[in-house]
Structure 1
């Protein structure tokens, strides 16, 4: 449904607020190597876990307790952890990515174009060919692709391929024509059309320029949204992620999630952020906070967009790029629009989560948070800066001073290590991917992956946070290893601190009494193995509210 009327909205919200908690039977999981954090963040070990009506009763109940009416499961000594929480992802974006051509493995622009051609050959019914995942920084020439490379294979249908970070897109000529992009088309504010020496569009559009193509693409149907939701949910549960923060949803997705919550069709817990650019933002804020009784949908925050990404040189910097002296990045939200936006969201009682990657975007956001708090209050809302990748060193302490949470993604560092220093130079690296410096300043650091920009597997994130290495264990000593986290800090970032960043620490993040019984069983003890092997961890089972929702298929033996 595109839009809920006021009466229907009231009925839907009443339904999800008053829905009865799912009546799961009591479950005793015994013989496990359990780890959780207590409410103070201390690591606790246990061997048994008791869940009743979907919520934790206790860890390590007395062995002689009665088991009448209790399902008893033998964990066979496997390691048990709370369900992982991804503090920054894009749920339907992940679902879409799983259902279209994935270019993450492409070794060059020509290789990517050939992969797209092979996909198109098997999908003749699709009016548009879409995909995601290309990254020119992984290619030998490190050059942006061009439309002509796609035209060689597909010229009769439009092609649109999002870069891995979704801050750029690659179109063929047919897509450019449908979008009306010509030599005379001006760059939109906060965007850039990459052009050749004659001024013609080459096929790559940066940040807000992507809208020129995306606004002429067919609207996703509700059935397609459901397919995306199902695919993404299954993928996350198989990777041990039981809750996620959806970083920027439209009015349409708001309605879609609300309907799914009423129907009881949400499988992963969603903390949804309203998109600040949605034309219906005023109405959505006026609707107030939405939280269903089973905690599968919670809407009380807004995602705003400061700048672009480092890989496409869209991140806004205080000084020019070291490898492009005439560029300083793009501000997607003009600085003079900060005050009205921050004030509106915070006065409505919603948390503001501001995307800022470059040091200029982070600096301006911190300045505005400070000004808004002084005039309107709101520091208690646990406002966040999403990514916080490159911070001026003098701004690091301001996060704790202002109680603004840096919501960060460890695998961004290991993905960016081959280009970040080229982009900003060694001096500015002092404030880049500065996880340990932020923790030492006294602020919590919730962690996520930014899927589908990065892979959703949280053990990849834990590994990157602790080792500062990629999954080939490079560089040997870690990349700027002084900013690495301890495993306990990283574990907290994907559990308790992620829950705290969503105002849900009373319900999620640890396996303490009264919280939801969301947990996973894994194949190795991440606290006892070499850190370099954390990424190899496999999820064997995933449970949500005391019910099993994923089990690793048993491998047949020939």
Structure 2
């Protein structure tokens, strides 16, 4: 057996029985020994030795909710985030259109990250503005919250949407006074459009995905839980078959594929240590920024309770069907009522079958939760997959829309104190993928400029140890891999990162600025500076 000794470091193992070591020995992708330098050299006397020169190291980090395909495709999209108005967004699209061959009116223009709530005029745009500058090329622009599409007439025609097209359940095709589609698709209508466009973007995905994955490994991410469509599964599979997958992937699959997955006998956990099947994603509601997250009481300027993208009865049925067939459920739930509905569905599924899925069910986001549901979440065993960076992005939005609600928002500490499990993620491209930005937000509930002093709703701040486990360890319950990764222990996968500072003691703002010097996956150096 060919051993490699990584030595002269402080390995923060996140294993309470053996918190630190100065050397780690790997072979055949696994950790075989942790201890002092002299002990490691005695254990593997003829091993290759890599001197880490006193650096700090810890288990590889996970992003447990990332839209990898959309993140990759951003490299080919028009970035509309800088726009402060619809006209500025249209001007950016026009500039892209001017770069294209005028004889080719069939090439698509894709773009994203526009946010009408930050514009001077917060009204939703429409297709007329796009039609005027796109030269008949189909154009599809996704909102920054990934819940809305802005399309031109050519894109609507491609999708077969006209004045007679009915709204899908849980979604809306916006229309003008005459009933004609305006080009705005909300929630389930937008998700359907995204699936229909997968074949258009498939070639671009194959082109840009490898570089995107390498960039994630450079940030210290050794495992990602992808939340996009089946085109992403195909792209990951192609890379894996060629031996070119640089990190480990757990693929959460869309509920639209549920019947096909069951027919094929696919189960959560199938695959290997590099690429495995996750659960199925089901949307319970929408987003706070779009006014479509589902709350127990009316909120915001429209005084609506939000939107049930999947109704409670159907949600119960889908979760039970998935769990009964060995597939865990990943329920998107942002509003407190949506979280309640997800917990109802988990309890219903357990009562129906008497069995739990192979890996834990999960709730994506859990941005707002009723106090009475904290114990139910813990009892369900479900993973709360949450995004710390969104917390600090949303301070004003939550304060504005939910000021009079008796609800817990981004309640990491309350969930953990009640016995639940929180896993950190980015929801990229909604937020930046840098996991140290999430860690900073998790232990401060502040923006980098120190706002607000003392942290927003500081009672929900996590301890450093809790935050590190949320970033590196907790995600494993959703894949039933706690015996394989998440801590540094003999027998587990040799996935760790080497840092330029001590993540357990450095001041919070320094934690946010942490640089990764080396990423080791399967015992091999996959990235180094």
Residue deviations 1:385-429 (CA, integer Å, cap 9, x gap): 11111112211221012222211111121122121232233324x
Asked if 1 retains the 8 angstrom alpha-carbon contact of 2:284 and 2:315, the reply is no
Superposition pairs of residues 94-133 of structure 1, within 5 angstroms: 94-124=71-101, 127-133=107-113
Superposition pairs of residues 7-86 of structure 1, within 5 angstroms: 25-38=2-15, 40=16, 44-63=19-38, 65-66=41-42, 69-86=46-63
Q: Which runs of 5+ in 2 are unaligned?
A: none
Query: Does residue 244 of structure 2 align to residue 265 of structure 1?
Result: yes
Residue deviations 1:460-516 (CA, integer Å, cap 9, x gap): 110111111123332222211111111211110111111223211111111111111
Residue deviations 1:114-163 (CA, integer Å, cap 9, x gap): 33333333454771111221222333444433334434432431221111
Distance 2:189 2:252 in 1: 23
Query: Does residue 376 of structure 2 align to residue 401 of structure 1?
Result: no
Map of 2:130 onto structure 1 = 150
Per the TM alignment, residue 363 of structure 1 is displaced from its structure 2 partner at its CA by 1.1
Q: Which runs of 5+ in 1 are unaligned?
A: 1-22, 553-558
Map of 1:313 onto structure 2 = 291
Asked if 1 retains the 8 angstrom alpha-carbon contact of 2:68 and 2:232, the reply is no
Per the TM alignment, residue 240 of structure 1 is displaced from its structure 2 partner at its CA by 0.9
Q: TM-score, normalised by structure 2?
A: 0.91
Asked if 2 retains the 8 angstrom alpha-carbon contact of 1:43 and 1:488, the reply is no
Asked if 2 retains the 8 angstrom alpha-carbon contact of 1:439 and 1:445, the reply is yes
Asked if 1 retains the 8 angstrom alpha-carbon contact of 2:24 and 2:33, the reply is yes
Asked if 2 retains the 8 angstrom alpha-carbon contact of 1:354 and 1:384, the reply is yes
SS of the residue 1:75 aligns to = strand
* Alpha carbons of structure 1 residues 208 and 221: separation in structure 2 relative to 1, 3 Å: closer
Query: Does residue 114 of structure 2 align to residue 134 of structure 1?
Result: yes
Per the TM alignment, residue 27 of structure 1 is displaced from its structure 2 partner at its CA by 2.0
Farther-moved stretch of structure 1 (216-225 vs 474-483) = 216-225
Residue deviations 1:180-211 (CA, integer Å, cap 9, x gap): 54455443221123345565544322112225
Residue deviations 1:408-458 (CA, integer Å, cap 9, x gap): 111121122121232233324x32211111011011111211112211110
Map of 2:419 onto structure 1 = 442
Map of 1:4 onto structure 2 = none
Farther-moved stretch of structure 1 (349-358 vs 256-265) = 256-265
Map of 2:260 onto structure 1 = 281
Asked if 2 retains the 8 angstrom alpha-carbon contact of 1:108 and 1:139, the reply is yes
Distance 1:528 1:146 in 2: 51
Asked if 2 retains the 8 angstrom alpha-carbon contact of 1:247 and 1:303, the reply is yes
Distance 2:355 2:282 in 1: 16
Distance 1:129 1:156 in 2: 10
Map of 2:494 onto structure 1 = 517
SS of the residue 1:400 aligns to = helix
Distance 1:224 1:137 in 2: 30
Distance 2:219 2:122 in 1: 31
Distance 1:215 1:408 in 2: 24
SS of the residue 2:265 aligns to = helix
Distance 1:276 1:121 in 2: 39
SS of the residue 1:278 aligns to = helix
Superposition pairs of residues 312-331 of structure 1, within 5 angstroms: 312-325=290-303, 327-331=304-308
Per the TM alignment, residue 166 of structure 1 is displaced from its structure 2 partner at its CA by 1.0
Map of 2:464 onto structure 1 = 487
Per the TM alignment, residue 44 of structure 1 is displaced from its structure 2 partner at its CA by 1.7
Query: Does residue 399 of structure 2 align to residue 421 of structure 1?
Result: yes
Q: 1:385 aligns with which of 363, 368, 372?
A: 363
Q: 1:466 aligns with which of 431, 443, 450?
A: 443
SS of the residue 1:411 aligns to = helix
Map of 1:232 onto structure 2 = 212
Residue deviations 1:509-538 (CA, integer Å, cap 9, x gap): 111111111111222223222213322222
Per the TM alignment, residue 79 of structure 1 is displaced from its structure 2 partner at its CA by 2.1
Per the TM alignment, residue 277 of structure 1 is displaced from its structure 2 partner at its CA by 1.4
Map of 2:227 onto structure 1 = 247
* Alpha carbons of structure 1 residues 279 and 75: separation in structure 2 relative to 1, 3 Å: closer
Map of 1:555 onto structure 2 = none
* Number of residue pairs the alignment of both structures matches: 523
Superposition pairs of residues 335-346 of structure 1, within 5 angstroms: 335-346=312-323
Superposition pairs of residues 533-544 of structure 1, within 5 angstroms: 533-544=510-521
Farther-moved stretch of structure 1 (155-164 vs 175-184) = 175-184
* Alpha carbons of structure 1 residues 377 and 99: separation in structure 2 relative to 1, 3 Å: farther
Residue deviations 1:273-317 (CA, integer Å, cap 9, x gap): 222112653446623455444x00121422222111111112112
SS of the residue 2:396 aligns to = coil
Superposition pairs of residues 185-200 of structure 1, within 5 angstroms: 185-196=165-176, 199-200=179-180
Asked if 2 retains the 8 angstrom alpha-carbon contact of 1:175 and 1:213, the reply is no
Distance 1:517 1:377 in 2: 36
